[in-house]
Amino acid sequence: MQLPIYRDTPEGLALIGALNRKNGAATFQYSEEYLDRDDAASVSLSLPLTDKPYDEEALLPYFKGLLPEGEALENLCRSLGILTTDYFTMLQMCGLDCLGDIIINPEAYQATRAYEPLTLQEVKAMAGKPKMIDESLELARLSLAGTQSKCGLFHDPNAPLEEGWYQPRGGAPSNYIVKFAREDLRDLMTVEHLAMVCAHACGVPTARTELIDPLRPVICVERYDRLAPTTETVDGLVTPRRRHQEDITQAFGIRPQDKYHQLEPSTIAVLGDFLRKRSAQPAQDIANLARIILYNYLIGNCDNHLKNLSILYAPDWQSFQLAPAYDLVSTTYFARFTSNMGMALGDHLDINEVTPSDFSIVAEQLGVNRRLLRSMAQEFADEAVPALREESAKLRAMGFEDAPYITDDIEEDVYPRLEILLAM
């Protein structure tokens, strides 16, 4: 079996290569025609351009990294009637609208694309109903990485958030990721939205988020890899242009299940060195990485693993920068979650054991002056709590009655860590 892999160029779909499966083993190989193109670029930093095929061990980090994980993977595979280990068939069935600028097996891509109108009530109704979410993914033939229940929808940029929603079909590109919390984590979407808004106020480049449905909050995340409009329309709606991206596990050739792995000599040092050598804007990206690292500590986000950092490519795929932050959640708000961070700070992995001296080590690992981190900490002190309170008041006026109480708990959690940041 063969799955052709395309990228979406202004001139139309361009064949990159193909995944091939024979006798139970898969390979990936770039096409000769693609290698001959002047604008040829690798689909992942972990899969450099070559005329030799990549074996399954080499291709898995990127291609399996496009798929859901954990409970979200189990739900989707149950809906599709396939094994959770059968990543090849899942890519075949759900690879028309992946993260980044990748289209897999687009046999009916041009003929079947459509945007089917959805009411806001229909969007809200997906919460707590994995089968409806999986049906949405199947209709869109959409593959989204991560463990949370989520789907990709299209929202008309000219409409208010309460209307103008569409279910993409047949690979029509989505421009929002819509996420739903489990019944036992009903506060999760509100906590994530507050953390994301606060991060933006603190100078962290972030994806834009909004909340809908006060009764069971649903978070709508604008896709930063789908923002630019094209000249093409589907059902009278202007489609967004894809931009290529990959997360750090994909770029580094690390399998998704190893996303919490600590790199040597330290994850922060490796990331800083990587951006310094490879980014199109190294100084800016290292500063933004520093903000993300400090902000994750401040807000109590212990889920700061390698799949929650990505690089975003230029439209021609010839260069990249650090992508905006996403999935910023105050995990310490929830007593059930671990206090061990996905990325160690200095000498400590447990967020409760971090000291001001750990940030001197962080500065050294990033290759920046500690004064830069101190200035960021002071900006956080000036902006974080006011931003949380302002957004909380806005949410309450919209009917999210729990928002002030959630904000109070986050504030109480943040203050001790802010003192440590200011003492560095």
For the segment 363-401, what is each residue's pLDDT rounded down to a tens digit? 999 999 999 999 999 999 999 999 999 999 999 999 999
- Domain extent at residue 125: 2-180
- CA-to-CA dists, residue 281 to 10, 21, 367, 369, angstroms: 25, 39, 15, 18
In a domain, residue 28? The reply is yes
Which of these three, 180, 203, 226, is where a domain ends? Answer: 180
Which of these three, 142, 158, 180, is where a domain ends? Answer: 180
Task: Give the model's pLDDT for residue 147.
Answer: 57
Q: Hey, how many other C-beta atoms are within 10 angstroms of the C-beta on 4?
A: 16
Task: Give the model's pLDDT for residue 130.
Answer: 64
Specify whether 124 is located in the same domain as 264.
no
d(CA 117, CA 338): 41
d(CA 220, CA 153): 9
Specify whether 262 is located in the same domain as 395.
yes
d(CA 376, CA 204): 10
In a domain, residue 215? The reply is no
Full-model pTM: 0.94
d(CA 275, CA 133): 36
Q: Which of 8-17, 66-75, 157-166, 324-333 has the lowest mean pLDDT?
A: 66-75
d(CA 167, CA 125): 13
In a domain, residue 197? The reply is no
In a domain, residue 121? The reply is yes
**Measured over all CA atoms, what is the biggest interatomic distance in the chain, rounded to whole angstroms?**
60
In a domain, residue 221? The reply is no
Q: Hey, how many other C-beta atoms are within 10 angstroms of the C-beta on 163?
A: 12
Task: Give the model's pLDDT for residue 23.
Answer: 87
Specify whether 409 is located in the same domain as 275.
yes
- Look up the CATH number of the domain holding residue 266: 1.10.1070
d(CA 244, CA 225): 7
Beta strands in 41-174 (DSSP E): 103-104, 114-118, 149-155, 165-169
User: What is the pLDDT averaged over residues 71-78?
Assistant: 80
Task: Select from 336, 394, 343, 380 the least CA-distant residue to 190.
Answer: 394
Specify whether 284 is located in the same domain as 416.
yes
Q: Are 187 and 406 in contact (CB under 8 A)?
A: yes
Beta strands in 156-303 (DSSP E): 165-169, 176-180, 209-212, 218-222, 229-234, 237-240, 245-247
d(CA 73, CA 144): 10
Task: Judge residue 412's burial from the number of C-beta atoms within 10 Å of its C-beta, 0-12 exposed, 13-18 middle, 19 or more buried.
Answer: exposed
d(CA 413, CA 19): 47
pLDDT band at 89 (very low <50, low <70, confident <90, very high): confident
What tokens does 73 get? 């993977």
Polymer length of the chain: 424
Which residue in this structure is represented by tokens 């094994």? 83
Task: Share the mean pLDDT of the chain.
Answer: 92
Residue 421 has pLDDT above 90, yes or no: yes
Which of these three, 160, 180, 200, is where a domain ends? Answer: 180
Specify whether 248 is located in the same domain as 171.
no
Specify whether 297 is located in the same domain as 163.
no
Q: Are 300 and 333 in contact (CB under 8 A)?
A: yes
> Who contacts 145 (Cβ-Cβ below 8 Å, separation ≥6)?
65, 66, 67, 68, 69, 99, 247, 256, 307
Specify whether 138 is located in the same domain as 67.
yes
- CA-to-CA dists, residue 46 to 101, 137, 146, 249, 323, angstroms: 16, 27, 20, 9, 18
Task: Give the model's pLDDT for residue 9.
Answer: 83
Instruction: Please give the residue that has the higher pLDDT: either 228 or 37.
Output: 37
In this structure, which amino acid lies at residue 218? Answer: V
Instruction: Identify the three-state secondary structure at position 8.
Output: strand
In a domain, residue 222? The reply is no
Residue 327 has pLDDT above 60, yes or no: yes
Q: How many structural domains compose the chain?
A: 2
For the segment 276-323, what is each residue's pLDDT rounded down to a tens digit? 999 999 999 999 999 999 999 999 999 999 999 999 999 999 999 999
